[in-house]
Structures are given as C-alpha cells and as structure tokens.
Amino acid sequence: MLDLEARSRRNNLILAGLPEGKEAGGISPLLDTILRHFLKLSDTIPAPEIERAHRALRPIPDPGHPPRHHTFSQMER
C-alpha cells in the first residue's frame, strides 16, 4: 500500500507563492498559462496536460501570511 501511495506522488509538482483567489476562473486554465510562460511554449505547442490540481488542504491563511501551495500532477503519456 505504501508503494502505491509513493508512486502516485512521484509525478506531483508543487507551485508555491500564488496569492489566494488567483484561481477564481479555475486552476487548470491558470496552470496552463503559468506553464506556457515558464516553459516558454508558443500557442502552437500544447502545454502539458494536468491530471489533477488542488490547493493544500489547510485553512485559508490570514492576510500577511504565506498562501497555501498548489499541488498538481501531469497526465502520464
């Protein structure tokens, strides 16, 4: 069981520092934009497909505290 859990986590990527509420239009389109920017992909090249994405499962921090991390995983090809 531990092996299955470890294997499912090995493709996870963590995005830190994204302010709370920036994903109001959905996290997938936002991640697509961020990945295109940092990977320097043109519009003709497809961005990596996201299998799942979510904020860290903890309470929304008070103003002035660091935002929660996003965890996401790419689709395996």
Nearest residue to 12 (alpha-carbon basis) of 47, 40, 53, 41: 53
- Per residue in 6-26, pLDDT tens? 666 677 888 888 888 887 778
pLDDT of amino acid 50: 82
pLDDT at 1: 63
Mean pLDDT along residues 41-48: 80
Q: Between 5 and 53, where is the model more confident? A: 53
Helix, strand or coil, per DSSP, at residue 74: strand
- Checking if the pLDDT of 2 tops 60, the result is yes
